Amino acid sequence: MTPMKRNDAPVAASVRANQRLLAASGVLGGAIGVGLVLVLIPQGEGAPDMVDLLHAPLPAWFAILVALAWGVALPLIAWRWQRVVDEHEREAYRDGAVAGFYVMGAGAPVWWVLARGGLVAEVDPIGLYVATLAVTGIVWLYRKYA
């Protein structure tokens, strides 16, 4: 039986593939997050806070596992996703990626120069990463659904 939309039109195979790949990406990210918490709980008292998650040392086996998931599995999912999305979503993603690049391309040197001048804290690579992904995602969602 073919899955149906609310208007009873069949859902295209590419749409189902898109949804599966986005879900797989989310599950992978969730597994990494849960894994970080589970690995770090024995190192402290109670649940780790955000500082622990970002700065605490990790067991080598776990670091290798996450690096492979993030550096191999996630790019494979992303490559496959790029092959199944339609033109509208591809353009929305491209616009988000360009906006995210501008955050990194302008944000990193501005932050670095201001830090060198003693005006702000040292550059935080995780902060830049999160800002880049946030802008990329916001622009993608806006272009996709607005």
- Condensed to tens digits (0 to 9), the pLDDT of residues 18-65 reads 889 989 999 999 999 899 888 888 766 666 677 777 778 889 999 999
- Same domain, yes or no, for 36 and 72? yes
Q: Is the pLDDT of residue 1 over 60?
A: no
- Same domain, yes or no, for 65 and 137? no
Pairwise CA distance, residues 111 & 11, whole Å: 46
- Same domain, yes or no, for 93 and 79? no
- Same domain, yes or no, for 28 and 69? yes
| Close Cβ partners of 141 (under 8 Å, ≥ 6 residues apart) | 92, 96
How sure is the predictor about 4, in pLDDT bands with cuts at 50, 70 and 90? low
The count of structural domains within the chain is: 2
- Residue 92: burial class (beta carbons within 10 Å; 0-12, 13-18, 19+): buried
Where among 59, 85, 111 does a domain terminate?
85
**In the chain, how many H helices and how many E strands?**
6, 0
| Residue numbers of the domain that contains 77 | 1-85
- Same domain, yes or no, for 116 and 137? yes
Look over the chain and give the mean of its residue pLDDT values, rounded to a whole number. Answer: 87
For the whole model, what pTM was predicted? 0.72
Q: Output the pLDDT for position 72.
A: 95
- Condensed to tens digits (0 to 9), the pLDDT of residues 137-146 reads 999 999 988 8
Q: Output the pLDDT for position 41.
A: 80
| Close Cβ partners of 17 (under 8 Å, ≥ 6 residues apart) | 80, 84
Q: Is the pLDDT of residue 79 over 60?
A: yes
- Same domain, yes or no, for 113 and 50? no
Where among 85, 115, 134 does a domain terminate?
85
Q: Output the pLDDT for position 11.
A: 79
